[in-house]
Amino acid sequence: MTAVAASLSILRPTLAALAAAGLLLAQPLARAADAHGDGHGAAPAAKPAAKPAAKPAAADAHAEPAKGGAHAAPAAAGHGKAAPPPPSGADPMDTLRDKLAQKLGAAKAPDAPSPYVMRVVAKSGEELHGGEAGKVIKKLRTEKAAAGHKADPHAAHWSYGGDGGPEQWGQLKPEFAKCSSGTRQSPIDIRGGVKVDLEPIQFDYRATGFGVIDNGHTIQVNLQGGNAIEVGGRRFDLVQFHFHRPSEERINGRQFDMVAHLVHKDPEGRLAVVAVLLDRGSAHPLVQSVWNNLPLEKGQEQGARVQMDMNHLLPADRRYYTYMGSLTTPPCSEGVLWMVMQQPVTLSTEQLAVFTKMYPMNARPIQQASGRLIKQSN
């Protein structure tokens, strides 16, 4: 009893503060303090009965708190529900323990050796903040986490300079990884080709309808079906052709004013590209036909009212260089069969200026040949 009384003497100020905060009944607190004496083990002397006095509302833990009064905060913490009065004859210390447990979200441990052992369980966000509030908080946290990993649409837009330039292509999107990690990339500086009797490319081109589109990276011409090439025992259909300035390919270090890439695809999806080098000279009728049908807006295809015969774009000399490479734009897919015509064709200075006004530079830098075999026609 001496230890208990000493402990209660130490706790007396704390218990009084809790009572003032609404955690305890003021009256049971007084009884608890008196019941255990003055800290020396002596029973308290009987006190003469006093006339009951009217208690102020703030001192009555069971009274309805006034708006904005001392009990407003505890009521809110308990979701507006008043705590039930303790049963008659209840131990004030039990009352204190139960109220503290209620505030801390604790429960009596079923396997505890003593009824005074409590287990505190962390509450979820919804329990702490209310069902709806918890959902809102959870949603905000999820959106914040997602925003931290959201790709920037501008960062993923590739270009030929600045932040989205060729040096960053491989980091812009996972599917662009080959642009930086590939070992068979294009374009290359074609040097030291092995001269052999290359199989001639069989061009099966004919006059067809076409449309012109400015795709934001180049001027592209989409052709209707019926055009194809045959090489290496395979047939590749011509899908489209487009331009680069200056030429992406170099021949023994020499770069040309422009190049046209004729993109073909076989039924299995394999690609074969014929590159026609363009050098300044006389005007080219087929190039002029493309310029005549330039669309006024990017991304909108302008259908031509005339037909185009792709045989007119090819040089008279059909000898070529060939090697295995990649697309020269993202995603830089490898396994592309390249055939670069040895003889360039011409376009006028005025025709060159038309493209230069829209795309002064849209050529990928030269890539490492990495020991690839390059063959050329005798």
Total residue length of the chain = 378
- Which of 32-41, 96-105, 113-122, 266-275 is predicted least confidently? 32-41
Beta-bridge mates of residue 240? 222, 263
**Res 52: pLDDT:** 44
**Res 159: pLDDT:** 97
Check if the beta carbon of residue 287 is closer than 8 Å to that of residue 147: no
| 139/288: higher pLDDT | 288
- Largest Cα separation within the chain, whole Å, is 128
> How many whole angstroms separate alpha carbon 285 and alpha carbon 308?
10
Is 145 inside a domain boundary? no
Is 227 inside a domain boundary? yes
pLDDT band at 96 (very low <50, low <70, confident <90, very high): confident
> How many whole angstroms separate alpha carbon 277 and alpha carbon 45?
115
Check if the beta carbon of residue 314 is closer than 8 Å to that of residue 203: yes
Phi, psi of 91 (to 5 degrees): -70, 125
Catalytic, out of 40, 217, 244, 284:
217
Q: What is the DSSP letter of 119?
A: E
Across 142-147, average pLDDT: 51
Across 212-218, average pLDDT: 98
Tokens of 74: 């505890």
- Which of 153-162, 169-178, 221-230 is predicted least confidently? 153-162
Check if the beta carbon of residue 187 is closer than 8 Å to that of residue 328: yes
Q: What is the CATH number of the domain that holds 329?
A: 3.10.200.10
Query: Per-residue pLDDT for 256 more than 80?
Result: yes
| Domains: count for the chain | 2
> How many whole angstroms separate alpha carbon 267 and alpha carbon 114?
80
User: Distance from CA of residue 275 to its chain's centroid?
Assistant: 37
| 22/283: higher pLDDT | 283
Query: Per-residue pLDDT for 89 more than 90?
Result: no
Phi-psi region of 79 (alpha: psi -120 to 50; beta: other; left: phi over 0): left
| 149/243: higher pLDDT | 243
pLDDT band at 134 (very low <50, low <70, confident <90, very high): low
Phi, psi of 247 (to 5 degrees): -60, 140
Is 101 inside a domain boundary? no
Query: Per-residue pLDDT for 229 more than 50?
Result: yes
User: Distance from CA of residue 89 to its chain's centroid?
Assistant: 64
**All residues at 6 or more sequence positions from 128 whose CB lies less than 8 Å from its CB, including other chains:** 134
Annotated catalytic residue 217:
yes
> How many whole angstroms separate alpha carbon 66 and alpha carbon 263?
83
**Res 102: pLDDT:** 72
Q: Whole-model pTM?
A: 0.61
Is 225 inside a domain boundary? yes
Q: What's the mean pLDDT when you consider all of the chain?
A: 78
Quickly list DSSP for 172-201: H-GGGTHHHH-SS-S--EE-SPEEE-PPPP
pLDDT band at 98 (very low <50, low <70, confident <90, very high): confident
22-81 tens-digit pLDDT: 444 444 434 433 434 444 443 344 444 444 444 333 333 333 333 343 333 444 444 444
Is 164 inside a domain boundary? no
302-331 tens-digit pLDDT: 999 999 999 999 999 999 999 999 999 999
Domain of 275 in residue numbering reads as 187-377
| 68/17: higher pLDDT | 17
**Res 104: pLDDT:** 63
**Res 140: pLDDT:** 63
